[in-house]
Amino acid sequence: MKIRILTSIILSLTFLKVSGQFFDESQSPLRVKWHYINHQGFKIIFPSPIEKDAQRMANTFSYIYPRLASDLQLHKTDYPVILQNQGTSANGFVQLAPKKSQFYTISPQNFDSQDWLNNLAVHELRHVAQYQKILGPSNFPLSDRLRFAYLGISTPLWFLEGDAVLTETKKTNAGRGRQPSWIMPFRTQLLSGKTPSYSKAYFGSERSVEVGYYQLGYLLNAQLHNTLGEAASNKLMTELAKPKIVPYPFSQSLKKLSGKSTRQFYLQTVKQLQVAWQAQADSTPHISYTAINRPHQYESNYLFPVQTEQGDLLALKQSKKRSPCLVRISPKGKEEVLINIGYQEEPWFSYANGKIVWDEFRADARYKQRSYNVVCSYNLLTGEKTQLSHKNRLFAPRLSADGSKIIAVNINWDNKAELQILDSQTGHTISSIKNPENFHLQAPAFDEQGDKITWISVCEEGKSLWLAQGAHKRQLISNTRQQIDKPIFRGDKIIFNAHYNGLDNIYQIDTATLEVKALSAAKFGAFNASISTDGQQMFFNNYDISGYNIASDYINEKAIGQNHFVNFVASQKSNENIFEQIPDSTFQSKPYRAFSHTINFHSIVPLTDEPGEKWGLQLQSDDLLNTTSIRLASSYLSSLGRWTHEAQLSYKALYPIIDLAYLNRPRAGYYRFGKQLHHAQWREDVFSLKLSVPLSINHFDRQWTWKADLSTYLVNRHFEASEKGKLIETVRFPMSYRLAFGQSSRKAERDIAPPWAQQFEFNYQSFPFDSNRSGELFSIQSYFYFPGLLANHSFLASFQYQHLSKNFAGSLAIDPVYGYYQIKALSPLINNLRLHYRFPLLFNDWELGSIAYIRNLKAGLFCHYENIGHDKMAKAPKSFGLELSSDMNLLRYTPIATLGTRLIFVNKIYQQKPIFELLFNYFF
């Protein structure tokens, strides 16, 4: 119960950003009309507005799968793929239980130099091939969840993701392995003498810059292929397909093939990376830039620096210590927070003439597959913040020099992009620039007069830089594999990011001659240039061991220099681009009726309870659109020697979620008849219904949540003839009502809890339809979070109250205070007040071999009161004490476990020695 309540609170009060491989249980709105195409093992399910994309993917999947899986000796597969067009988060995943892949078709503002859906196709279908190779064909029906669990136990995420990135880099003309900025954090650490341990490189850090398990995986997989040959992936996955009853079987399989454990192989790879990257550094001249922002001991990023007319600098600050915010830095280095901002798909803001604009993510209140990207503004003079647009999909807004107009990328529901010009006061659309080629569009910008526009387009052939004036537009750079980004005007020249010399730097192109010159020569990477108010200098982000700092330099053109980028797949066999000869067939598209695909049984899983008294199996069904879940289970109760049978149905397509359940179970108990105590056994049927409406919205850095539940049940008991008439045979529709609502501010990575948050929950239960029972249960639970004395500290005050009468007497609607699960109470529980102060002690990043990676050490103090106003002893704490805990990764597995201890001192009237508790929890 404690874990369940705590989990509910945390999920209600925190923002979650999810990426990579994950389970998604959200729904699309009912109005979405779904169609499907069946072709060569792929069932492609898609909304009707993006049929053109679905037809293209039907051709693509069947053509590329044999080519990207050939090294694993696989040639065909059978997988459903869902194309989602309702959201604004660009992503993709592959899962089992149920088996499906999901593509989020909207393109991001900063990605590879190829078509977005092609990028997803090669990466996600490689995951399909991995699953097929490691888990084998589904010879055992209804085993998806167990097979997926084995994949999680046997194979680290870095291997799966790294192998997919290696495949996209080898099999296409693009791929993240060709981007210096993508592996820049790891390169920076090694060349700065800060080699992270294997666990720190894999799991990340709450203190310093993270390598990223995608990047780590790519480099380790490339090393595998360089040392063991092109068949390395096939050999390793073949070994992993052999079940081993040992912890972390991946390391054993790797050692069998390479002679080295995972950690040893990592250290060997690091040595070779250091040599290769040092040689690149020695061959690439660089300038040491001094940071303008104050130095910091933990990772902090000051993104998109720009100078105001008063000489201050503005930047978007991100750090592990506090949530993202816009800051102003004075010429003397004093830093002032202007405004906290909400979740962004990608970091971004623009400044001009006293105004700031940026884009933020907005989730649909109920259907989380649907989301929006809106434009927000802030007036630097008045401090007023405004949301300019609503329920649209606008990205990378940039102001004109006079601050009167905004240009942004608009992406329609049919996945077609255009440039849209908005009034910066009202947010209304002034005009738009069409995109007949349907390129992906990125980072548009006005010139100083607001007459010319530049932007970047992306297609399968590469990236292009454009210039437009009126109806005339032309390409300045055409179909390059350079990671060009964030263009701005400087007179008749355009400044942008690229990696011509093998590192990300700032470059300039003359719009008349098309000559490209370098403007920076950073050691690790330079990005996001802006021009000073006098036009003589540029401010930009210079990357180093502590993150993205602010630097400045006079604008001097330099030669581009030679490209010494270290391509870790260059020495390997290079296949031709698998997208070169995609067929262009047209397939029959049919309506996809979600209701007719409701039943989709995929797994049988074991069931047990905490005491180990209940053992059984559950059959699970989930449809592909996350609208219907069915659970059928039978379990054996050892204490009674009888079986329990249950069925559950959850229908989530409507605005309220409908949960229906049936339970047939054995029961036993004692009853008094006359003067004698009798023992009875019976079976009972329990029919239950629950309606719930979960809602949540976000606005700037705040999130609001609401949930309303209504539930009832009917119980029919089947007694032996000797008990009939002596016990109540029917419990008729007791009613339960629950209303919960709250709001919270956005958390930083290091925060124990949201700095500001309130959560309330009201519960009421009664028996309005049952003459045999009476009474009421009413409870209130409230939680108030406040900032602590120092950064990342948290103070929680929680008040809870319950009123119980008649048949509810003896129940618990609220939790006792700490320690009183072990002690018999002397008086009924009416209310409690809980005071908690929690704070981080260390962010240690300790690696204890393969046993544990200890991420941090946290502490807390608590003081609990009970029955305030109803008990003479309520003036003294009922219990108080302290707790210590640490978040860690155990046995090199990804789930984070919290291990801790709590020492509880109880009220002296109980004559109880201090209670010592051990705490353990884990989460994904």
Q: What is the length of the chain? A: 924
CA dihedral 580, 584, 587, 591 (to 10 degrees): 70
Instruction: Tell me the mean pLDDT in the region 650-654.
Output: 97
pLDDT tens digits, one per residue of 281-300:
999 999 999 999 988 878 89
pLDDT tens digits, one per residue of 145-170:
999 999 999 999 999 999 999 999 99
Do residues 252 and 598 lie in contact, with contact meaning Cβ atoms separated by under 8 Å?
no
Residue 22 has pLDDT above 90, yes or no: no
Residue type, 417: A
Report the pLDDT value the prediction gives residue 876, as an integer from 0 to 100.
87
- Two structure tokens written together for 910: 């109980």
Report the pLDDT value the prediction gives residue 139, as an integer from 0 to 100.
63
Residue 17 has pLDDT above 70, yes or no: no
Residue 263 has pLDDT above 60, yes or no: yes
Greater confidence (513 vs 871) lies with: 513
Residue 142 has pLDDT above 50, yes or no: yes
Report the pLDDT value the prediction gives residue 308, as an integer from 0 to 100.
97
Closest to 389 measured CA to CA, from 377, 400, 404, 405: 377
Burial of residue 350 (number of CB atoms within 10 Å: 0-12, 13-18, 19+): buried
Report the pLDDT value the prediction gives residue 23, as an integer from 0 to 100.
64
Instruction: Tell me the mean pLDDT in the region 25-34.
Output: 94
Residue 20 has pLDDT above 50, yes or no: no
Do residues 509 and 494 lie in contact, with contact meaning Cβ atoms separated by under 8 Å?
yes
Mean pLDDT of the chain: 93
Do residues 892 and 853 lie in contact, with contact meaning Cβ atoms separated by under 8 Å?
yes
User: Which residues neighbour 821 within 8 Å (Cβ) at sequence distance 6 or greater?
Assistant: none
Greater confidence (157 vs 10) lies with: 157
CA distance 254 to 259: 7
pLDDT tens digits, one per residue of 811-830:
889 999 998 887 877 788 99
Closest to 560 measured CA to CA, from 525, 598, 611, 521: 521
Instruction: Tell me the mean pLDDT in the region 230-236.
Output: 94
pLDDT tens digits, one per residue of 70-118:
999 999 999 999 999 999 999 999 999 999 999 999 999 988 899 999 9
Find the helix packing angle between 116-135 and 157-171, rounded to 10°.
130
This prediction's pTM:
0.94
Instruction: Tell me the mean pLDDT in the region 61-70.
Output: 96
825 three-class SS: coil
CA distance 761 to 579: 54
Closest to 775 measured CA to CA, from 742, 805, 741: 805
Residue 908 — very low, low, confident or very high, per pLDDT cuts 50/70/90?
A: confident
pLDDT tens digits, one per residue of 653-706:
999 999 999 999 999 988 887 778 888 899 999 999 999 999 999 999 999 999
Report the pLDDT value the prediction gives residue 2, as an integer from 0 to 100.
38
Instruction: Tell me the mean pLDDT in the region 896-915.
Output: 90
